[in-house]
Amino acid sequence: MKLIALNDFHGNLLPPRDPTLLPDRPGQPDIPVPLGGASYISTAVAQLKAANPRNVVVAAGDLISASPLQSSLFHDEPAIAVMNGIGLEFSAVGNHEFDRGRGALLRMQRGGCAEDGTLGQDTCVNGPFPGAAFRYMAANVVDETGTPLLPAVGIKTFIVDGRMPLSIGFIGLTLEGTPELVNRTGIAGLRFLDEAETINREAAALTKQGVRAIVVLIHEGGEPPVGADLDDESCPGFAGAITGIVAKLDPAIDLVISGHTHRVYRCRLPTADPARTILVTGAGSAGRYLTDIDLQLAADTGDVLSAAARNVPIVNDSAANVRPDRYPPLAPEPKVAAIVAEFDRRSRERSLQPVGRIASALSRQQDTAGEMPLGYVIADAQLAAAAKQADRRADFALMNPGGVRAELAPLDAAGTVTYGQVYTVQPFGGALMTMTLSGTQIDALLEQQWRADGRYAILLPSQGFEYAWRASAPLGARIDPASIRLRGKPLSPTGRYRVNVNAFLANGGDGFRVLLEGTERVEFGIDRDVLIDYLSAQPVKPPKLGRIRRLD
C-alpha cells in the first residue's frame, strides 16, 4: 500500500517565494531550488499514485489559514478546492483549522456560504461552496456533550487479487494545546483531549472492528537538530512534543504522520517497549514536500509487516532551474492549475496595490535574544495607531512572533510594498485591544514566554519598552524585574500601565494567560490595516535593536 502525505499547506496555492536549500554533490554547498505550488503537488501525487494503484492521500492538518491572499481573501475555499483536486482523502485538523472558529471549520467540511461579506459582495464569494471532498478528523476535539466535533477515524479498504479485504484505519487529531494557539472565543465549549490517550482509545475500537493496520494523522510534531542527516532514521537529537506522545502509544499503532513544526523528517522513534520503534514522518510546510510511504501488509491478516518513507521535494518550474539533472522540475497539473489561476487572477488587482514603503527588507527571523525587526515594526505600528485615539492610547505594545508569517521586502528601488505582501505577513485580520496591567502582572506575563514543555514565544515590544532575560535561570525567574523599563524608567510593581496586543494574545493565546486578567479592555482596529497605515505614512526603516537583551 502507498500513503502520500502532506501537512501545513496553509493555502499556498502558488509556490512560496523563497527557494529551499537542497543538497548538491557531496562536498558541495547546498543549492537553492524552487519548491511547492498546488498544481505541481497534484502532478507529484498523480505520479506516486501511478506507482501503486492501492494508495491513499492523507494530511496532518493546517491545510487552511495563515494563508497567502489568493486563498485567504476567499475564506480559504481555494485551499479546500485544490485539496479536492489533488485527491486528498483524509486529514487531521490542525490548530489553524480553528482560527475562524468551529462554525467556519464545519463549513469547510460540509460546504455552504460564509457568514460575512468581507469582500463587499454576496457572502457566497465563489458561488455555492461544496466543502471538502475529503474527511476532516478530530478524534480529540469534543463538544459540550462529549461528542467528537468531527469524525475520529477513517477506514480505507482494498481488495488485493480477489483475496480477503485489507483495511487501513486512520486516526486524526490535533494537538491538545490548540486552545493556546487560537482565539478562544471561536472554540468556546470545545475540549481538546490528551493525544496519546485518545489515539489508544480509538486504536482499540479499530482493532475490535478487525482493522490491523492503523495510522495516526496528528497535528503535532518534532524538530531534528540543525544540520541533522535527514537520511538517518535513528534521528539523534530529535526533540519535540511528538516524542512523548509516541512513547505512550499502543503497540497497535503502525505509523505516525505528523505536522505543526514545519520540519522535514522521517524518524524511528522509541516507544514504551524498548524493543520497538514507530516510523514518524513530517513533510515540512507550504507544499514544498510530500512524504511517500510504502506499507507492506500481510495478505492473510492485514498486519503491517514493514513501513518505509521518503520525503519528495516538489520541484517546480517557477524559476530558472538549478541542476535539472538532480532536481528535474515537475509540470503543473492542468485541472488544479486552472483553479490556482482563477483565484490568482481574482486576487491580483488587490494584491498588487501599493500600500507603503520600506527602506530595506524587514526580517522575521528572531536572533538568540528573540529580537525580530519586522515584529518590532508591527508593534510600533500598533502603538502608533492606539495613540491616535484618546481612550485607546497605550504605554507600549507587544507582538507575538507566531503572528508574523513572512518577511517584508521592497519590490523596487523606491521601497514599494503591496497589499498582498502585507496580507501575507498578517493574514489573520485580528482586532487589536488595549488593556490595563500592573507592573507585577507585566513581569509575570514576560515569564510566561517559556513553558515547562520546552516551548517558548519571545514577545516583541514596541519602541520605548525593554527587558532582559537569562536562559540559565529557572522557569518563572528568567526575567530580571529591574530590567523591565518603559521609556528608560523601571516599572513600578503597583503601577498601572496600558498595554496593546492583538485579540489572539488578549484571549490568552500562546499561553499568555496573564493577559486574561487585563482590565479596562478596549478593542479597536485590525492588525493588518494598522500596519498598512503605518507603512503608508513614511518609508519605514529597520528598527534599532536592543529592546530585548539576553544576558547569557
Quote the pLDDT of residue 120: 35
Q: What percent of the chain has pLDDT over 70?
A: 96
For residues 435-453, b (16+ Cβ closer than 10 Å) or e, as one string? bbbbbebbbbbbbbbbeee
DSSP state of 423: H
SS (H, E, C) 256-280: EEECCCCCEEEEEEECCCCCCEEEE
In this prediction, residues 231-253 reach a mean pLDDT of 95
Amino acid letter for position 65: S
CATH of domain 2-343: 3.60.21.10
Quote the pLDDT of residue 122: 39
Quote the pLDDT of residue 126: 61
Q: Which residues pair with 2 in a beta bridge?
A: 55, 294
Q: Cell for 545?
A: 535593536
| 14 neighbors 67 (Cβ within 8 angstroms) | no
Q: Higher model confidence: residue 127 or residue 503?
A: 503
pLDDT band at 163 (very low <50, low <70, confident <90, very high): confident
Q: Phi and psi at residue 307, in whole multiples of 5°?
A: -140, 130
Q: Higher model confidence: residue 366 or residue 120?
A: 366
pLDDT band at 478 (very low <50, low <70, confident <90, very high): very high
Asked if the model's pLDDT at residue 393 lies above 90, the reply is no
In this prediction, residues 473-481 reach a mean pLDDT of 95
Q: Which residues pair with 498 in a beta bridge?
A: 436
pLDDT band at 321 (very low <50, low <70, confident <90, very high): low
Q: Which helix (H) or strand (E) holds 506?
A: helix 503-506
Pick from 282, 266, 289: which is nearest to 217 by CA? Answer: 282
Q: Which helix (H) or strand (E) holds 528?
A: helix 527-537
Q: Is 400 exposed, middle or buried (0-12, 13-18, 19+ CB in 10 A)?
A: buried
For 10-31, the pLDDT digits (tens) are 999 999 988 899 988 888 888 8
pLDDT band at 320 (very low <50, low <70, confident <90, very high): low
Would you list the DSSP string of 350-408? HHT-EEEEBSS-B-----TT---HHHHHHHHHHHHHHHTSGGG--SEEEE-GGG--S-B
Q: Which of the residue ranges 139-143, 160-164, 339-343, 512-516 would you say has the lowest mean pLDDT? A: 160-164
Domain ranges of the chain: 2-343, 353-550
Per DSSP, the three-state class of 150 is coil
Quote the pLDDT of residue 421: 93
Q: Cell for 48?
A: 506516486
Q: Higher model confidence: residue 372 or residue 324?
A: 372
For residues 357-380, b (16+ Cβ closer than 10 Å) or e, as one string? bbeeebbbebeebbbbbbbbbbbb
**What would be the CATH architecture of the domain defined by 353-550?**
Alpha-Beta Complex (3.90)
Helical residues (DSSP H) of 101-230, grouped into ranges: 102-110, 195-208
For 458-473, the pLDDT digits (tens) are 999 999 999 999 999 9
Quote the pLDDT of residue 197: 98
Q: Is 163 exposed, middle or buried (0-12, 13-18, 19+ CB in 10 A)?
A: exposed
List the 485-486 sheet strands across, edge first: 489-490, 485-486, 465-469, 548-550
91 CB neighbour count, 10 Å cutoff:
32
Q: Phi and psi at residue 333, in whole multiples of 5°?
A: -85, 125
For 34-46, the pLDDT digits (tens) are 999 999 999 999 9
* Strand-strand pairing, 253-258 and 277-283: parallel
Quote the pLDDT of residue 204: 98
Quote the pLDDT of residue 119: 39
| 536 neighbors 355 (Cβ within 8 angstroms) | yes
**Domains 2-343 and 353-550 in one fold:** no
Pick from 327, 242, 240, 227: which is nearest to 280 by CA? Answer: 242
Quote the pLDDT of residue 28: 84
CA 304, CA 480: separation in Å to the nearest integer? 54
Quote the pLDDT of residue 25: 83
Q: Which of the residue ranges 28-32, 44-48, 410-414 would you say has the lowest mean pLDDT? A: 28-32
Quote the pLDDT of residue 317: 87
CA 425, CA 435: separation in Å to the nearest integer? 25
| 39 neighbors 390 (Cβ within 8 angstroms) | no
DSSP state of 101: -
* Sequence-separated (6 or more) residues with CB below 8 Å from residue 232: none
DSSP state of 254: E
Place of cell 510530500: 290
Mean pLDDT for all residues in the chain: 93
CA 235, CA 267: separation in Å to the nearest integer? 6
* Sequence-separated (6 or more) residues with CB below 8 Å from residue 533: 381, 385
Amino acid letter for position 82: V
